[in-house]
Structure 1
Amino acid sequence: MKSFGKFLAAASFAAAAVVTMVGAGPIPARAEDAVIASIKQNGTFRVGVDATFAPFEFSQDGKKTGFDIELVEAIAKELGATKGVEWVDIDFKGLIPGLMANRFDMIASAMYITEERRKVVAFSDTYYPGGLVIMVKANNTAVKGPADLEGKTAAVQIGTKSVVHLKEHFPKTKIVEVETNAEMFGQVETGRTDVAVTGKPAAKLYAQTHPTVKVLDDQLTTEDYGFAMRKDNTELVTKVNAAITKLKADGTYQKLIDKWFEAKK
């Protein structure tokens, strides 16, 4: 999960600066169909990304890849972007200010949908349910879900929301705090702890290549990921949602889920 506080402040500052520059009021909003018209005319869909968060978006062999990257490329085709996606690289904290400044028309960067962010941008429908999950050894039959955590030992990364969540909701679970994800997962694989509690993307990615562990389906929390767009581009939001629905219906979405998050058998 990526930090929000810094870029929300930056977004508020950017918005205030825009109003100040024009004096009497904000710059007039672009027409609702402006982005769709631009895609049809230029053949490209401009999308902002901070490609540093595997398995959603990252660089490999000099090329962007990941779940978000491939999903957005498929969405772009549905929108009529014949030349594909024009990726605009920017630090995560600068994504919302960049969107507001029309540097690009959508954010695809593992961004949680929150009420604070909704005050600034419009979100697509949920395209991936994140949140905290439980990882156990593949042959563990004693822990089938959150109800089985009482009295068990749980490895967590120090300073994460996993620590807070377990202390608040599972006070009888013994917490073992470690420095890194690798240490946390190693605790489970070697049997030093019964479970690990961490974010779903990281757990799913690890389980892909480590068949000795598995991620339980019953999540501890759910925090949805969405694509962010400007509020005045309601037609774009509608078309992106329609594209997500179509890609789920035709099996494209599930193939990407299997590729990036499901453990290989």
Structure 2
Amino acid sequence: MKSIFLKGVAAASMAIAAFATVPAKAGPLMDRIEAGESVRIGFANEIPWAYPGENNKPLGFANAFTIGVLNSMGYENIEPVVTEWGGLIPGLKANRFDVITGGMYILKSRCENIAFSDPMGKFGDAFIVPKGNPKGISNYQDIKEKGAVFVTGAGYNSIEAAKKEGVPDSNVMAVPGPTEILAAVRAGRADAGGVTYFTALNLAKEADDIEVTDPSKLPDWTLNWVGIGFRDADKDFLEKFNEAEAKYLGSEQMMKDVAEYGYTKSQLPGDKTTEWVCNNR
């Protein structure tokens, strides 16, 4: 009986050891990579964050950053997928692409739907207004008090910000993206357009009849951190991405890769973690 018992213990121990060495199930992105398929990066037309060039070539500093991290991990088979901003999170969840590179702010509402990488930058917003700023709009309280019409992009963080500041829904216009925001302000359909400061500067280059408001006039809580978006099911890949990002972020190679798009060391994210940003934004 004793020998039978010991054999049973030995067998059980071997089974436990074998189970312990079984790797965690790979997510859908690792499955694609191991099958020799591409890493599909999703982004909209958001200059200078992430936007398509000729033949949908991925341009912009968020794309350059993401591709830089992926290349450092040994992944060079990268496929761009261009969609509207409002389609980024739904497209990721529907497996139409694998990564959101588009320069997306890490927000609590978004953290409930997707997983973000460690922050890759810290950024503020601004408004575009008609030249001379005839209604004197610098912040959300100005919009609220003056009954002004505010235009921004569908799915943009500025919709939540306007609501938090008490701007009535009836005064907020949602359009697909920057081109439509600019058109609404220039045509007089809106008094101010809410975009990131980088986007506002780019729009001001396109039209000499608009100007950019001072980003410091917006509340401090509107300062945001950007992360790269992944499916929750791909947290195995995200963990490896974060390890590579930690080595790439702020490096000489990274600053060289993003320099042409205006990203500087002043945009580096500091010490805030994704967990902190998810809980505080």
Query: Aligned residue for 2:78?
Result: 86
Query: Aligned residue for 1:29?
Result: 25
Mapping of 1:34-183 within 5 angstroms? Answer: 46-55=38-47, 56-67=49-60, 68-81=62-75, 84-87=76-79, 89=81, 92=88, 93-98=90-95, 104=98, 106-115=99-108, 117-118=110-111, 122-129=115-122, 132-136=125-129, 145-146=138-139, 149=142, 152=146, 154-157=148-151, 165-166=161-162, 169=165, 180-183=180-183
Offset at residue 62 of structure 1 (A): 1.8
CA-atom RMSD in angstroms:
4.8
Aligned residue among 240, 246, 249 for 2:245: 240
CA deviation vs aligned residue, 1:66-103 (integer Å, no higher than 9, x gap): 3233332333344344xx3511638632313539xxx8
Larger Rg: 2
- Distance in 2 of aligned mates of 1:242 and 1:28: 25
- Distance in 2 of aligned mates of 1:156 and 1:199: 11
- Give the TM-score normalised by structure 2: 0.53
Q: Which runs of 5+ in 1 are unaligned?
A: 1-26, 260-265
- Distance in 1 of aligned mates of 2:121 and 2:244: 18
- Distance in 2 of aligned mates of 1:117 and 1:176: 20
Higher mean displacement: 234-243 or 147-156: 147-156
Letter in 2 for 1:108: T
Offset at residue 227 of structure 1 (A): 0.9
Q: Which runs of 5+ in 2 are unaligned?
A: 1-22, 265-281
- Give the TM-score normalised by structure 1: 0.56
Query: Aligned residue for 1:263?
Result: none
The structure carrying a bigger helix percent of its residues is 2
- Distance in 1 of aligned mates of 2:161 and 2:40: 32
> Is residue 227 of structure 1 aligned with residue 232 of structure 2?
no
C-alpha change, 1:142 and 1:164, in structure 2 (3 Å) is: same
Q: Give the secondary structure class of the aligned counterpart of 2:185.
A: helix
